[in-house]
């Protein structure tokens, strides 16, 4: 019988270990959210503007230059959608996040986003649809 009791204890220990590792990995293996990828304080923009936060290792990285080029080509659509651009250099890697007027993250990806896809995402948002209908 002692052998069966030990199996039960081992099963509990294994289950708790797996749950702990899952939580640890979910936090980026640091035990806390990474400050490097935390969003900057965007309180000044809330309910006024949407914000595209671009994290980049340098302002000369290929991804960053491509993203800026696409935004420059579509710059007429930025003010129409109340879209502000915030660039944060010296990040460990490239990342683009769209933050809605409500402060929620609507898009989070590690590659440049096409302007047409960005505008389509924004135009599908309830607040944007209300803006387009004049409400």
- What CATH code is carried by the domain that includes residue 54? 3.40.30.10
Query: What's the pLDDT at 65?
Result: 98
- Answer yes or no: is 99 within a domain: yes
Range of the domain at 12: 1-33
Residue with the larger pLDDT of the pair 55 and 23? 55
Query: Three-state SS for 49?
Result: coil
- Res. 126: pLDDT tops 50: yes
The whole-angstrom separation of Cα 24 and Cα 7 is 25
Query: Three-state SS for 64?
Result: helix
Residues 25 and 63 in one domain: no
Looking at every residue in the chain, the average pLDDT score rounds to 83
Per residue in 51-103, pLDDT tens? 999 999 999 999 999 999 999 999 999 999 999 999 999 999 999 999 999 99
Angle at 25 between CA 24 and CA 27, to 5 degrees: 70
The reported pTM is 0.72
Looking at residue 40, the DSSP 8-state letter turns out to be P
- Spatial CA neighbour of 53 closest among 109, 9, 127, 129: 109
């Amino acid at each position: 019988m002692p052998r069966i009791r030990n199996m039960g204890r081992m099963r509990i220990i294994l289950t708790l270990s797996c749950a702990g590792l899952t939580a640890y990995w979910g936090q980026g293996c640091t035990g806390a959210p990474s400050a490097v990828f935390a969003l900057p304080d965007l309180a000044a923009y809330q309910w006024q503007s949407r914000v595209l936060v671009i994290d980049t290792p340098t302002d000369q990285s290929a991804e960053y230059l491509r993203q800026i080029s696409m935004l420059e080509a579509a710059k007429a659509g930025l003010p129409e959608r109340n879209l502000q651009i915030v660039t944060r250099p010296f990040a460990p890697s490239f990342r683009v996040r769209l933050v809605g007027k409500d402060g929620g993250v609507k898009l989070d990806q590690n590659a440049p986003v096409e302007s047409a896809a960005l505008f389509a995402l924004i135009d599908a948002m309830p607040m944007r649809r209300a803006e387009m209908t004049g409400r």
